[in-house]
Amino acid sequence: MIVYTYMTNEVKTHLAKLGIDKFIKDNGLKLVVCLHADHMLWECPGGHLWNIQMVKDAVKQDNN
């Protein structure tokens, strides 16, 4: 399995600016890859991988 990494304050700030930080926290997504702020992968509790565009799209759907 992929080793989990931590999120720096810069990454947390970027996610908050995008408005997706709450969705990530509420859905239990864990950051597994972070090359830089726009190239991240998260793993959900079910084992599926989410990229940043998938998270943005899900947040958009939740807001509609």
pLDDT tens-place string over residues 3-41: 445 567 777 888 888 889 999 999 999 888 777 656 788
Distance CA 2, CA 63 (A): 31
- Structural domain contains residue 3: no
Q: What's the domain range around 59?
A: 9-63
Cα separations in angstroms, 12 against 25, 46, 48, 50, 64: 11, 23, 21, 17, 24
- Residue 7 identity: M
- Structural domain contains residue 51: yes
Distance CA 61, CA 11 (A): 23
pLDDT: is 40 or 58 the higher one?
58
pTM: 0.71
The total domain count for the chain is 1
Contact 42, 29 (CB under 8 A): yes
Mean pLDDT of 41-54: 91
